[in-house]
Every structure is written in structure tokens, then in C-alpha cells.
Amino acid sequence: MKAYRVSGIAPFGSMRQVFSLDLPASDAADAEHRTYSIMGSRHKANRRSIEIQSVSEIDPRTSTEPRIMDYFREEIAAAGGSVAPVAEEE
């Protein structure tokens, strides 16, 4: 499995908005399928109404998505930790 970043446009309520989703998948086609599944279940969007603009493989250490951090936990720790900027709480 590899980490992918999928970005595109989907209907959220009465508006269409840009989205970006990081997720683990075996290949780019699997990442697209998982994106359709997640967006459909969370926002009741049909596959036809979701427009995927790009699917790119990313380094798991650059993502702050909990799904990626959990799946690649050992790999991130072995590589010396996350390289994503950590936001401080106020």
C-alpha cells in the first residue's frame, strides 16, 4: 500500500467545493474508488457528481491525515518522524 492525495471538486450541500483527501491505497485506481466511496457515504454525493482532478502518490510523512498516520505508523517512526508542520494549540 502507498499513500495518495486525491483532489477534486464535489457537491457539499447546495455548493460545489474543492476537496483534498489523503488515503492509503494499492494504486491510483484504488485511490479513486476509495474517494468515491468516502465522499458518497459522508456527503451523499453520486460518483457522477464528483470530479477528481488529480491523484498523486505522496510521502506518508508529509500528511497530517489520521488515516495515513495510523496506517504508516511504523514506516514514519523508522524514517525519523513526521516532516509535516505541527500546528500549536492556542
Cβ atoms of residues 17 and 53 within 8 Å: no
Does the pLDDT of residue 88 top 70, yes or no?
Answer: no
Buried b (16+ CB within 10 A) or exposed e, 63-78: bebeebbebbeeebee
- Averaged pLDDT for residues 51-68: 93
Cβ atoms of residues 61 and 81 within 8 Å: yes
Q: Quick one: which H or E segment has residue 77?
A: helix 73-78
Does 24 reside within a domain?
yes
Does 70 reside within a domain?
yes
- What is the pLDDT at residue 48? 94
Does 90 reside within a domain?
no
Number of domains in the chain: 1
Total H helices, total E strands in the chain:
3, 3
- What is the pLDDT at residue 13? 82
Does 88 reside within a domain?
no
CATH number at residue 37: 3.10.20.10
Does 87 reside within a domain?
no
For residue 20, what are the β-bridge partners?
7
Does 12 reside within a domain?
yes
Does 54 reside within a domain?
yes
- The model's pTM is 0.84
Range of the domain at 50: 2-78
Does 85 reside within a domain?
no
Quickly state the pLDDT bin for 79 (edges 50, 70, 90): confident
From CA 27, how far away is CA 6, in angstroms rounded? Answer: 12
pLDDT digits (tens, 9 = 90+) for 15-55: 999 999 999 999 999 999 999 999 999 988 999 999 999 99
